[in-house]
Amino acid sequence: MKRGRGSFGKEFGEGKPAGLKSPSSAGMSDSVGSSSSRWVPVQGVTSIMDLPTEEGKVMLMDTMAEALKNGATNPTGAVAVIKYGPATYCTAVACSSCKIPLNKAKILEPNDETGRDPRIVCDFCAATFNLRTGERITSKGGNGIFGGIAKALFATQSSDNLKVYALGEKDGKVLINLD
């Protein structure tokens, strides 16, 4: 499939990373705002053409989803969206270790620890995560801007995983699953 062409449903269809599915196949009711679903419209995206098409580039995307908003650190409910191979991944906007936005994070090829899944490396503290699952991995992708100094000074010393989200499309609207 050519990048930026075709339907969003097909792009997230066969061969997609586990956990990414269309809202209709996930049991979403016809009402986008249904209380029985955690699929919510992404307010900042008007079409699939707004999603990244450049391989391995991190794009921050405002969702305006109330559950993701934080007045001090994330007032627009932003998430990080990355295109890698045929898949599009969506993660929390900030590294779970140092809380710095991932807009300059590096995307690395899969390794033995992640199997077929690519890795995302925080450019500040060098925390490394499986891009599909968000699981923190032990292999390092680099030293970050200041290496261990930044991690010691600014990191929360958290070994939490990186939050990942599913994206989908229904009735021409791009949606994010907050479960």
Query: Mind giving me the DSSP string for 13-44?
Result: STTPPTT---TTTTT--SSTT-TT--EEE-TT
pTM over 0.95: no
Confirm whether 1 is domain-assigned: no
| pLDDT tens digits for range 117-158 | 999 999 999 999 999 999 999 866 555 545 555 555 554 456
Confirm whether 2 is domain-assigned: no
Confirm whether 17 is domain-assigned: yes
Q: Name residue 119's beta-bridge partners.
A: 108, 130
* 8: pLDDT strictly greater than 60: no
* 25: pLDDT strictly greater than 60: no
Confirm whether 150 is domain-assigned: yes
Confirm whether 141 is domain-assigned: yes
Tell me, what CATH number does 128's domain have?
2.102.10.10
Burial of 28 (0-12, 13-18, 19+ CB in 10 A): buried
The one-letter amino acid code at 113 reads E
Confirm whether 113 is domain-assigned: yes
Confidence at residue 11, expressed as pLDDT on a 0 to 100 scale: 36
Question: How many structural domains are present in the chain?
Answer: 1
**Range(s) of the domain holding residue 86:** 8-177
Confirm whether 154 is domain-assigned: yes
Distance between CA atoms of 58 and 3, rounded to whole angstroms? 16
Confirm whether 3 is domain-assigned: no
